[in-house]
Amino acid sequence: MLEATLCFLIREAEILLGLKKVGFGAGKYGGFGGKIEAGETPEMAAVREMAEETGIKLTAQELRRVGHLTFLFPYKPEWSQVVHVFLARSWDGQAGESAEARPVWCPTSEIPYARMWQDSAYWLPRILAGQQVRARFTFREDNESVADVVMEEWP
Check if the beta carbon of residue 17 is closer than 8 Å to that of residue 106. Answer: yes
What residue ranges do the domains of the chain occupy? Answer: 2-153
Q: Could you report the per-residue pLDDT of 92-147, keeping only the tens digit for each?
A: 999 999 999 999 999 999 999 999 999 999 999 999 999 999 999 999 999 999 99
- 125 Rama sector, left if φ>0, alpha if ψ -120 to 50, beta otherwise: alpha
pLDDT of residue 24: 87
Q: pTM value? A: 0.96
Tell the CATH superfamily of the 2-153 domain.
Nucleoside Triphosphate Pyrophosphohydrolase (3.90.79.10)
Q: Could you report the per-residue pLDDT of 41-100, keeping only the tens digit for each?
A: 999 999 999 999 999 999 999 999 999 999 999 999 999 999 999 999 999 999 999 999
